Amino acid sequence: MNWIIFFLVVQVLHFAGTWKLYKKAGRKSWEAAIPVYNAVVLMGIINRPKWWVILLFIPVINLLIFPVIWVEIARSFRKFDTKDTWLAILSLGFYNFYLNYVIFDQLKYNANRSIKPPSKTGEWVSSITFAIAAATFVHTYIMQPFTIPTSSLEKSLLIGDFLFVSKFHYGARVPISPIALPMVHDSIPGTGLRSYVKGIEFPYMRLPGLQKVKRNDIVVFNWPSDSLALMWGDTSDKFTYKPIDKKTNYVKRCVGIPGDSLEIKNGYIYINGKKTVLPDRAKPQFNYYVNTNTPFTADEIIHTYNVNPSEASVLNQERTEYFINLDKEHALMMKNDPKVVSIKRNIEAKGSYQPDIFPHDPQYAWSQDNYGPIYIPAKGDKVTLDKKSLPFYQRIISEYENNDFEIKDNGDIYINGVKTDQYTFKQDYFWMMGDNRQRSLDARFWGYTPFDHVVGKPVFIWMSLDQNETAINKKVRWDRLFTTVGGDGKPKSYFVYFLVALGLYYVGKEVVKRRKK
DSSP of 330-391, one letter per residue? HHHHHHT-TTEEEEEE--PPTTS--TTSTT--TT----SSSEEEEE---TT-EEE-STTTHH
Contacts of 137 (CB under 8 A, 6+ apart): 58, 61
CA separation for the pair 386, 422 (Å, rounded)? 9
Q: What share of the chain is helix, strand, coil (3-state, %, to 5)?
A: 30, 20, 45
Which of these is catalytic: 20, 79, 167, 252? Answer: 252
- The β-bridge partners of 430 are 449
pTM of the model: 0.85
Which of these is catalytic: 151, 152, 166, 440? Answer: 152
Is-catalytic flag, 367?
A: no
Q: Is the dihedral of CA 132, 165, 152, 271 positive or negative?
A: positive
What's the pLDDT score for residue 171? Answer: 95
For the chain, the structural domain boundaries read 3-115, 145-259+430-516, 285-340
Is-catalytic flag, 152?
A: yes
CATH 2.60.40.1120 fits 145-259+430-516, yes or no: no
Element spanning 97, H or E: helix 95-97
- The β-bridge partners of 460 are 164, 484
What is each CA distance from 29 to 100, 103, 389, 448, in whole angstroms?
12, 17, 60, 53
What is each CA distance from 302 to 209, 298, 442, in whole angstroms?
40, 6, 25
What is the full per-residue pLDDT of the chain (517 aa) written as tens digits? 566 777 788 889 999 999 999 999 989 999 999 999 999 999 999 988 899 999 888 888 888 888 889 988 988 998 888 888 888 888 988 999 999 999 988 989 988 877 666 666 656 766 777 788 888 888 999 999 999 888 888 888 888 899 999 999 999 999 998 888 888 888 888 887 888 888 888 889 999 999 999 999 999 999 988 765 444 445 555 556 789 999 989 999 999 999 999 999 999 999 999 999 998 888 899 999 999 999 999 889 988 998 988 899 999 999 999 999 999 999 999 999 999 999 999 998 888 888 889 999 999 999 999 998 999 999 999 999 999 999 999 999 999 999 999 999 888 999 999 999 999 999 999 999 999 999 888 999 999 999 999 999 999 999 999 887 777 778 888 888 999 998 777 888 888 888 888 888 888 877 777 777 6
Q: Is the peptide bond before 295 cis (omega within 30 degrees of 0)?
A: no
Burial status of residue 342 (CB atoms within 10 A of its CB: 0-12, 13-18, 19 or more): exposed
Contacts of 295 (CB under 8 A, 6+ apart): 318, 319, 320
What's the pLDDT score for residue 119? Answer: 60
